[in-house]
Every structure is written in structure tokens, then in C-alpha cells.
């Protein structure tokens, strides 16, 4: 336990290292627990902190790309790990890719040598006494089973998941409106967009789904698909009509173009209140990203779809933050418990670093007796955090940075590239103001 005032951070991954360093740079004491190398996860290979478990890319550096914009925001907020990534960059065109070992080694050195951080190599089975200390939970998608069990009893049923089965999300403005129709089943409203398939297209779609190139499941992921979230290609493989009687069933729908029920229907459900993003209902998938574009692109409404998030299926511990969270990155009724990283329901390296940074900032604010702060919704970090707190708790699934999360722009419609430039300019202006009013004072 740190001598008060101070914080405990659970998990020395991307979010935990970033959060711990932010608290330490404000001069507070931190105890950082990391269970590796004594207790392994299924994906980490070393005992180094901030290990990248898969790709060595932190994605685009261009601010007209959602990940590039998020990185620029984090850089302006003083992110440790983005500085370490820049130091260890390898050539990768318009992406920031790093020397994986150099990156993790340097992050480990910095954390180990920080005079305010005590690194304890031990598995945490229960959270520390939250009356006595601020705690940042950053144990990641592969949170140990013992900690998972104790979080379950602390936070209650339906608050924590260990698996995600994600359907793709596409941007509303990339859909062909002439190839789909708005209608709810049995005449209930018009909340869904429906993409009709005739029998010939349906059979081709099923054949391509089954034959498509898929990401192989890792050993630890292969076992347990819940019946309710089987990958769409597995359902398709179980019989030629399984989709038509399952996620693509047309019952209760009539195509206004023909007045008849289509052979099958792929439904699109609004993903956010402003209607800028649509989710392909029931299409959780292991297809490779290019294959998702190709196979779902057979459906005319989706032929030019821009993917804001691709589908995936994998082991992932994450909280239902819309149900149990309290802005910002706190747990309702537990004001000393902050959460960071993939466990918050964000998805991705940079998103994990970003929530780590924000949890670190808010831990510092708590320790200084200040209220929590959130970046404005116009910023990518603010929009992401607003999403994981404000999404519909029913069927909540993780989210990565994307432009569909941002509030729409004012003014006349322009081309896609111009819009991205405008989103980025607005975000960075809002971010600078947030930094100058809520962050800078903490570290001076």
C-alpha cells in the first residue's frame, strides 16, 4: 500500500503503465502490481511491462484518421507511452509501428527507475481497501481468473464479461439508401435499416461466408462460443438455410419496393443516438477484415460501406460500464475505484493508453481534492469515454476510436476527406482547451 496520499494500479500493461506514470509525475506515490512473469497470461510472452500482445502497429499517424487523431491528442496531453513509441518507431509508412521489444523494454526501464513508483510483481486477487486508497484497475482483457471472480462479486452479475463477439459497424453515410429500407418488424417503428436478399444473392452470400478466409482462433479462444453469439460464418456453415431462419430471418418485414417479404434480410441497427453508425445485427465474425468488406459488400446497401469497427470474436474481460460506471472512468458507488484500458470496454492499444492516461489524470485530481474531468465530446478521447459510459447497456460491446463517435459537424455537407479534416481541427482545438484548463495545473 502506498503511503497516503497515493494510488494503487493493478496491471502493468499499456493502460496501467501510462496511468501509474501520470500519477507519479504529479509527485504522488504509486504501487503498481503486475503478475507477470510469475503468473502468465495466454497471450503475453515476456515479463516486460507494456508488452504489445499481437501487432507492433499503433496504426495511422495522420490526424484525418481516427487513431492518428487520438494519438495526437494523447501526445498533447503528455502521454509517456506515445513518447516511448516515437523513440522506438520503425519505418511503417503512415503508421506508427514500433520495435516491440525496444518499446516494452524502455517502458519497463522508465517505470522501474521512477522514484515515485514501486513495482510489485504479484497477482492481485482482490482489490485493495478502497476506503484507504485510490485504485486504478487496468488488468486488461486477460485479467486473471482469481481477480475476475472477486470483481464479479464486488460489482455484481452482468457487470463483467469475459468474451466478446462483435459485429461490424459501418458509417451511415456510406450506405446505399436506395438498397435498404427503414422498418421495424411487424410494423413496430422504423428503427432498423433492412437490406433485402433474394434467394440467389442469399445462397451466394452464404457460400462466400463459409469459404472466406478467417482469423484462426488461438487455443485459449477456440472453446466456448455462447449459443447467442456464434460467429455468423459458423451459423452459415451449419446448414444452407440456418441464416434465413436465424440472424437474417425476414419475418415481420415487407420490402416497400415489392410489397412482399424478402427471402432474407440483413438488419442494420443504429449504434448511437445521432444515427451516424450502424451495426450489422447478428454478424459477429472471425472473417479477416478484407474478407468482411468483400463478403458483406455483396449486399448492395453495403457495397461501399466504410467500416468504423470490424467484427471479431475473442476472449476479452470487459466491464459493462454503461451499467456500472460513473463518469469519468469510475465505478458507481465506489468513488476511489477508477478503471483504465481494455477492461473499460474500449478496444485497441491506443485506446487503452488513452483511458490509462485519463484515469491517471483523474486519480491525480482526486488526490488533490478536485472533481473528475473529461475531455469534450468533440475530441476522440472524450467521445470514446462518453461512448463507454453512455451506450445502451443491453448487448454492450467494446468500441475502438472512429469518426462515427464524434458529434456531427455543423454547416453544409462536404466530401469525406474535408469532413475528417474538420473533425480533426475541431477536436484538437477542444483538446488544447481541456489541457490548458484541466490538466496543465496538475503537473506544474
404 is an interface residue for ligand FAD by CB under 6 A: no
Minimal distance, residue 123 CB to ligand FAD, in Å: 4
Minimal distance, residue 241 CB to ligand FAD, in Å: 34
53 is an interface residue for ligand FAD by CB under 6 A: yes
Q: Which long-range contacts (CB under 8 A, 24 or more apart) does 234-243 make?
A: 236/206, 236/209, 236/210, 237/210, 240/203, 240/206, 243/202, 243/206
* Residue 11 or 247 having the CB closest to ligand FAD: 11
The whole-angstrom separation of Cα 337 and Cα 128 is 10
Q: Which of 2, 11, 247, 404 binds ligand FAD (CB under 6 A)?
A: 11
* Residue 266 or 337 having the CB closest to ligand FAD: 337
414 is an interface residue for ligand FAD by CB under 6 A: no
C-alpha cell at 198: 433474394
The whole-angstrom separation of Cα 147 and Cα 153 is 10
The interface mask with ligand FAD, positions 320-349, x = CB under 6 A, is: ---------------------xxx----xx
- Dihedral sign from CA coordinates of 215, 216, 220, 225: positive
CB count within 10 Å of CB 240 equals: 13
For residue 137, the surrounding DSSP H or E stretch is: strand 134-137
* Residue 68 or 140 having the CB closest to ligand FAD: 140
The whole-angstrom separation of Cα 240 and Cα 99 is 46
95 is an interface residue for ligand FAD by CB under 6 A: no
317 is an interface residue for ligand FAD by CB under 6 A: no
Segment 223 to 282, residues that bind ligand FAD, using CB under 6 A: none
Are 243 and 230 in contact by the 8 Å Cβ rule? The answer is no
* Residue 70 or 236 having the CB closest to ligand FAD: 70
Q: Which of 24, 29, 31, 36 binds ligand FAD (CB under 6 A)?
A: 36
Residue whose beta carbon is closest to ligand FAD: 13
Minimal distance, residue 142 CB to ligand FAD, in Å: 6
55 is an interface residue for ligand FAD by CB under 6 A: yes
133 is an interface residue for ligand FAD by CB under 6 A: no
80 is an interface residue for ligand FAD by CB under 6 A: no
Number of residues that bind ligand FAD (CB under 6 A): 33
Are 368 and 442 in contact by the 8 Å Cβ rule? The answer is yes
123 is an interface residue for ligand FAD by CB under 6 A: yes
Q: Burial level of 342, CB count in 10 A (0-12/13-18/19+)?
A: buried
Q: What is the DSSP secondary structure assignment for residue 216, as one 8-state letter?
A: P
The whole-angstrom separation of Cα 388 and Cα 196 is 31
Q: Which of 7, 8, 14, 170 binds ligand FAD (CB under 6 A)?
A: 14
Q: Which of 63, 108, 143, 285 binds ligand FAD (CB under 6 A)?
A: 143
34 is an interface residue for ligand FAD by CB under 6 A: yes
Residue 103, Cα to own-chain centre: how many angstroms? 22
117 is an interface residue for ligand FAD by CB under 6 A: no
Phi-psi region of 207 (alpha: psi -120 to 50; beta: other; left: phi over 0): alpha
C-alpha cell at 9: 494500479
User: What's the angle, vertex CA 308, arms to CA 89 and CA 270, rounded to 5?
Assistant: 155
* Residue 10 or 442 having the CB closest to ligand FAD: 10
Q: Which residues bind ligand FAD (CB under 6 A)?
A: 10-16, 33-36, 41, 43-44, 53-55, 123-124, 138-144, 147, 341-343, 348-349, 352
Amino acid at each position: 500500500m502506498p503511503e497516503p496520499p497515493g494510488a494503487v494500479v493493478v496491471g502493468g500493461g499499456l493502460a496501467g503503465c501510462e496511468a501509474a506514470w501520470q500519477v507519479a509525475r504529479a509527485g504522488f506515490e504509486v504501487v503498481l502490481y503486475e503478475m507477470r512473469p510469475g503468473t502468465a497470461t495466454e497471450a503475453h510472452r515476456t515479463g516486460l511491462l507494456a508488452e504489445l500482445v499481437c501487432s507492433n502497429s499503433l496504426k495511422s499517424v495522420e490526424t484525418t484518421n481516427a487513431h492518428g487523431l487520438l494519438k495526437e491528442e494523447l501526445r498533447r496531453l503528455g502521454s509517456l507511452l506515445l513518447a516511448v513509441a516515437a523513440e522506438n518507431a520503425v519505418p511503417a509508412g503512415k503508421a506508427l509501428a514500433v520495435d516491440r521489444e525496444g518499446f516494452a523494454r524502455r517502458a519497463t526501464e522508465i517505470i522501474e527507475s521512477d522514484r515515485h513508483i514501486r513495482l510489485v510483481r504479484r497477482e492481485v486477487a482482490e482489490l485493495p481497501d478502497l476506503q484507504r486508497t485510490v485504485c486504478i484497475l487496468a488488468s486488461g482483457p486477460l485479467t486473471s481468473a482469481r481477480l475476475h471472480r472477486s470483481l464479479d462479486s464486488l460489482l455484481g452479475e452482468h457487470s463483467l464479461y469475459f468474451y466478446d463477439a462483435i459485429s461490424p459497424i459501418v458509417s451511415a453515410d456510406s450506405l446505399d439508401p436506395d438498397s435498404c429500407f427503414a422498418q421495424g418488424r411487424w410494423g413496430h417503428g422504423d428503427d432498423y435499416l433492412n437490406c433485402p436478399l433474394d434467394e440467389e444473392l442469399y445462397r451466394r452470400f452464404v457460400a462466400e461466408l463459409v469459404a472466406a478466409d478467417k482469423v484462426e482462433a488461438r487455443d485459449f479462444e477456440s472453446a466456448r462460443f455462447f449459443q447467442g453469439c456464434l460467429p455468423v460464418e459458423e451459423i452459415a456453415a451449419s446448414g444452407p438455410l440456418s441464416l434465413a431462419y436465424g440472424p437474417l430471418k425476414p419475418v415481420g418485414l415487407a420490402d416497400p419496393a415489392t410489397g412482399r417479404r424478402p427471402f432474407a434480410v440483413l438488419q442494420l441497427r443504429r449504434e448511437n443516438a445521432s444515427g451516424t453508425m450502424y451495426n450489422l445485427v447478428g454478424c459477429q465474425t472471425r472473417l479477416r477484415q478484407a474478407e468482411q468488406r468483400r463478403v458483406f459488400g455483396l449486399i448492395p446497401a453495403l457495397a461501399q460501406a466504410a467500416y468504423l469497427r470490424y467484427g471479431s470474436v475473442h476472449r476479452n474481460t470487459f466491464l459493462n460500464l454503461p451499467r456500472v460506471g460513473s463518469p469519468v472512468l469510475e465505478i458507481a458507488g465506489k468513488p476511489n475505484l477508477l478503471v483504465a484500458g481494455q477492461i473499460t470496454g474500449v478496444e485497441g492499444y491506443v485506446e487503452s493508453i488513452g483511458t490509462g492516461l485519463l484515469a491517471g489524470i483523474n486519480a491525480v485530481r482526486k488526490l488533490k481534492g478536485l472533481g473528475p474531468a473529461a475531455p469534450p465530446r468533440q475530441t476522440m478521447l472524450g467521445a470514446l469515454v462518453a461512448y463507454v459510459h453512455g451506450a445502451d447497456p443491453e448487448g454492450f460491446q467494446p468500441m475502438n476510436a472512429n469518426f462515427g463517435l464524434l458529434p456531427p459537424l455543423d454547416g453544409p455537407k462536404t466530401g469525406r476527406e474535408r469532413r475528417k479534416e474538420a473533425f480533426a481541427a475541431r477536436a484538437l482545438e477542444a483538446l488544447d482547451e481541456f489541457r490548458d484548463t484541466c490538466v496543465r495545473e496538475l503537473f506544474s
